[in-house]
A and B are shown apart, each in its own frame.
Chain A
Amino acid sequence: MARLTIPERELMHSGHAGCPGCGAALAMRYLLKGLGEDVVVALPACCWTVIGTPFPTTVLDVGILDTAFETTGAAMSGLRAAADALGMTDVTVVGWAGDGGTADIGLQALSGMLERRTDGIYVMYDNEAYMNTGIQRSGATPEGAWTTTTPVAAKSRGKSEPKKDIMGIVAAHYPAYAATLNVAFPEDYLKKVQKARDIKGPRFLHVLAPCPPGWRFPPEKMVALGRLATDSNVFPLYEIEGGKYKITRKLGTPKPIAEYLKLQGRFAHMTPEEVAASQAGVDARWKRLLALEALG
């Protein structure tokens, strides 16, 4: 057998209810490959509530605790406290929430969890809208994207506001570790998960999870699209450790954002001018990230 670049052991089972080509499903598969089995996951309302299959079935070889939509950070603190009180100190406490459950309705609980320095890993899997309820815009939906609540019509050009910078919000809490991860780069993904596993304190992972039905692209393109997201600097891969930024993937010449946008039906309405404006935004954010990295 040829050498595998990621651990062979599976802690996620088939039978889950993710759509064909679901980025969020693959994201969980990698997370557990990196963390192992001594894990308890706080799971709020999100796609994974359903992906995780109904009673009496479960998809993961680790404990999952369902919690209310906006409570992931608080549930993590409760799990950590109980695990410590009951002598289960080696358990890794994970929060696994979507972008809406994190950057919108769960932002307060996330802030609380980071500030009180709960020892746990908060993962925001970002499919850039409320996908479980049928593609409504969230604070993490990028500018220009069509969603069912930001239609393309006479008086609307998709979402008119930029995507919320959740990593910036998290960084302001001085996390023990924070990183962006992309399912299209499994080796980088695994490396960051394993690094996070071995650090104590509040950790945050921002995972890009491309969504074929929500972003309107064919399921077989999920990984290719994820790759393009990073290689066009739309979703740069970087980590923040001890306050220091480090970009973990840099291309000499990034791909134009137009390549990324044109693969997705949610951006199909965009004019060349709108694409150019989008490119300018990406360039500015990339420049800022380079500057943060240069601070050392």
Chain B
Amino acid sequence: MAAELLAQAAFLEGKHPQSFPFFGVERRGAPVTAFTRIDSAPIGVRTSITAPDIVVVLDPSLIKSINVTAGLKPNGLLLLNSPKDPSAFDAVFRGRVATVDATGIALANGLGTRATPIVNTCLLGALARASGIVRLESVLAAIERHVPAKRDENRLAARAAAEGVLMPMPQAVVA
């Protein structure tokens, strides 16, 4: 969902996105992986991404069980859903780390339940600000066009997350 919405946002900017899930068997709550490529030219590969520029972790508890930074480029960006300061994750990744309290923002905007907060749009808002890979306005426009329910809440959440993202240095554009 988040990966596809990111692709939609990039498309609105005239870029060539490619978004796909790991083709597995989805179970509610079970860890899943999805990929997005964004380029200014048509994309000529159809494989899993093994060396990403950016890794976005929607559920911070996964850090304990999964090596979320596997293959992440040294100068890449790790964006985490966490209320903590990025410095708390120095041991996880030596490159740039950004955090956003997406669960708190989602619940404050009525997205999901305590057991299953819906944090997709929060992290996209935060990603736009932390990476510059797409503009926040494009994320908001993609939400308006493609999110089936609670569009206003999702837009507010994405904007709040963009404003609330914590990062050690100002926005830097990745590739």
Contacts and interface: CB of A to CB of B under 8 A. Distances in A.
| A touching B, CB within 8 angstroms | yes
B32 to A, nearest CB: 12
B115 A219 contact: yes
Contacts of B26: 134
Given A218-B115, A219-B115, A220-B115, A20 B25 contact: no
A277 interface: no
Interface in B88-110: none
Interface secondary structure of B, over-half rule = loop
Interface secondary structure of A, over-half rule = loop
**Which of the four size classes fits the interface of chain B?**
under 10
A19 B25 contact: no
A36 interface: no
Interface string A205-242: 00000001100001110000000000000000000000
Nearest to A20: B29
A219 B116 CA distance: 10
A50 interface: yes
**Which of the four size classes fits the interface of chain A?**
10 to 19
Contact of A50 (B25, B29, B115, B116): B25
B115 A19 contact: no
Contacts of B25: 17, 50, 132
B27 A218 contact: no
B113 interface: yes
Interface string B12-32: 000000000000011111100
Contacts of B113: 218
Given A218-B115, A220-B115, A213 B30 contact: no
Contacts of A213: 28
A17 B27 contact: yes
Interface in A1-44: 17-20
A18 B28 CA distance: 8
Nearest to A50: B25
Contacts of A17: 25, 27, 30
Nearest to B29: A20
Contacts of B116: 218
A95 B30 CA distance: 27
A213 B113 CA distance: 13
Nearest to B30: A17
Nearest to A49: B25
Contacts of B27: 17-19, 50
A268 to B, nearest CB: 12
Contacts of A132: 25
Among B28, B29, B30, max chain A CB count under 10 A is at B28
Interface in B15-65: 25-30
A19 B116 CA distance: 12
23 contacts: A17-B25, A17-B27, A17-B30, A18-B27, A19-B27, A19-B28, A19-B29, A19-B30, A20-B28, A20-B29, A20-B115, A50-B25, A50-B27, A132-B25, A134-B26, A212-B28, A213-B28, A218-B113, A218-B115, A218-B116, A219-B28, A219-B115, A220-B115
Interface of B: 25-30, 113, 115-116
Given A19-B30, A218-B116, A219-B115, 4 more contacts: A17-B27, A19-B27, A19-B28, A20-B28
Interface of A: 17-20, 50, 132, 134, 212-213, 218-220
